[in-house]
């Protein structure tokens, strides 16, 4: 479904991605784990076209993404919940969610999807008329994910969805990720919480300083020495 082939992305002279090749198949949850600054977010940005690879190709269902404008990429069925919850602070929760569905043409299917988001995050229903910027950090995180879902994507890119969430919500959010996946959405998940991410994912890639250093089934990664030491914090 999604394929990156030998992708090199630069910020000025700084090499952020150094030959990344990965694949996501339809129906999967694939997770990308690694330290801060390893290039995980850059990988998502490269897929979305907000930065351009200097070398290599990105393909999605047969379309080349690395030459396409971001709004075109979103219309192909990819949506994104960015790191740091870049919601629209002066718009209400409802307006934020409605904007998530901006590119859709099936207007009549939007209302049930809104219900689905509210069912996943009851807190958002309580806050529906509040301005996005007045939400707490964790609530903004829910809103960012909800907004991404409103695009009804075939591929959902999640950047650190568990960041800043309470323990009970972290559990919930990973359950939600699995639910969304069972309902047919393919997910590429970037996470610091490697344990939880690997528990819900089918496969995982480990990224270090711009390269993928390990790739395996999620269960196998959970048992690997490198992952346990570096990313699970075990001694």
Partner 1 sequence: MSPGARRALQGAALGAGLLVYPFLDRSLGLQTVHAVSDGMIYVLLALGLNIVVGYAGLLDLGYAAFFAIGAYTMGLLNSPVLGSPLYGYRWSFWVCIWLAAGVSAVLGVVIGAPTLRVRGDYLAIITLGFGEIIPVAIRNLGDITIDIGGWRPIVRLNLTGGENGVNPIGRPHLPGVPFETDPVPWYFLILVIGLASLWAMNRLRDSRLGRAWMAIREDETAADCTGVNPISTKLLAFALGASFSGFAGSVYAAKLQAITPGAFEFQVSIMLLCMVVLGGTGSLTGVILGGMLITLFDRVVLTETTSMVRSVGRATGIAALTAADLTLWRWFFFGLGLVLVMLLRPEGLAGRRARPLAAVADDTDDPAALEPAPRVETIPGWLRERAERGGVVPEAAPLLEVRGLTKRFGGVVALNEVDLVVPRGAVIGLIGPNGAGKTTFFNVVTGLIRPDGGRITFEGARLAGLRPNAIVARGIARTFQSIRLFPQMTVLDNVLVGEHCRLAATVAGAVLRPPAVIAEEARARARARELLAFVGLGGKADDAARNLPYGDQRRLEIARALATEPRLLLLDEPTAGMNPRETETLTELIGILRRELSLSVLLIEHDMAVVMGISDRITALDYGTRIAEGTPAEIKRHPRVIEAYLGAGYEQELAARTPAR
Are 169 and 92 a contacting pair, CB within 8 Å? no
Nearer to partner 1, 43 or 186 (CB): 43
As a residue count, the chain comes to: 235
Least CB distance to partner 1 at residue 194 (A): 7
E strand spans, 82-227: 155-159, 186-191, 203-208, 211-217
x/- map, 210-229, partner 1, by CB under 8 A: x-------------------
Which of 84, 99, 104, 178 touches partner 1 by CB under 8 A? 84
Q: Does 166 bind partner 1 (CB under 8 A)?
A: yes
Q: Residue from 90, 105, 107, 235 that binds partner 1 (CB under 8 A)? A: 235
Joined tokens for residue 199: 């528990």
The footprint of partner 1 on residues 12-51 (CB under 8 A) is 12, 14-16, 34-39, 41-42
Distance CA 194, CA 232 (A): 6
Give the binding-site size for partner 1 (rule: CB under 8 A).
Answer: 47
Contact (Cβ atoms closer than 8 angstroms) between residue 124 and residue 146: yes
- Choose one: 64-72, 94-102, 110-118, 131-139; the region binding partner 1 (CB under 8 A): 131-139
Q: Which of 89, 137, 184, 219 binds partner 1 (CB under 8 A)?
A: 137
Closest of 36, 35, 55, 33 to residue 46, by C-alpha: 55
Q: CA-to-CA distance for 190 and 231, rounded, in angstroms?
A: 13
Binding residue for partner 1 (CB under 8 A) from 58, 78, 144, 194? 194
| Cα distance between residue 160 and residue 164, in whole Å | 9
Q: Containing H/E element for 106? A: none
Q: Please pick, from the candidates 57, 92, 154, 192, the single residue that binds partner 1 as defined by CB under 8 A.
A: 192
Give me the phi and psi of 85, to 5 degrees please: 50, 65
Nearer residue to partner 1 within complex by CB, 182 or 229: 229
Applying CB under 8 A, the residues found at the interface with partner 1 are 11-12, 14-16, 34-39, 41-42, 83-85, 123, 134-139, 141-142, 160, 163-171, 192, 194-195, 208-210, 230-235
């Amino acid at each position: 479904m999604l394929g990156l082939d030998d992708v090199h992305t630069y910020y000025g002279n700084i090499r952020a991605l150094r030959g990344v090749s990965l694949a996501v198949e339809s129906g999967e949850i694939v997770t990308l784990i690694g330290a801060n600054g390893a290039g995980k977010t850059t990988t998502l940005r490269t897929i979305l076209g907000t930065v351009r690879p200097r070398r290599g190709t990105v393909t999605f269902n047969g379309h080349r993404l690395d030459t396409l404008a971001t709004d075109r990429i979103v219309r192909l069925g990819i949506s994104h919940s960015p790191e740091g919850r870049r919601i629209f602070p002066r718009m209400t929760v409802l307006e934020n969610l409605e904007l998530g569905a901006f590119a859709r043409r099936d207007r009549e299917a939007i209302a049930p999807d809104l219900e689905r988001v509210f069912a996943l995050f009851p807190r958002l229903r309580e806050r529906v008329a509040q301005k996005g910027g007045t939400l707490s950090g964790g609530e903004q995180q829910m809103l960012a994910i909800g907004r991404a879902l409103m695009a009804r994507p075939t591929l959902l890119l999640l950047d650190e969805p568990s960041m800043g969430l309470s323990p009970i919500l972290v559990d919930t959010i990973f359950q939600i990720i699995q639910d969304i996946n069972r309902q047919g959405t393919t997910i590429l998940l970037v996470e610091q919480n490697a344990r939880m991410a690997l528990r819900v994912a089918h496969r995982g890639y480990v990224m270090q300083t711009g390269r993928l250093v390990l790739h395996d089934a999620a269960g196998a990664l959970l048992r690997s020495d490198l992952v346990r030491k570096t990313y699970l914090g075990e001694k």
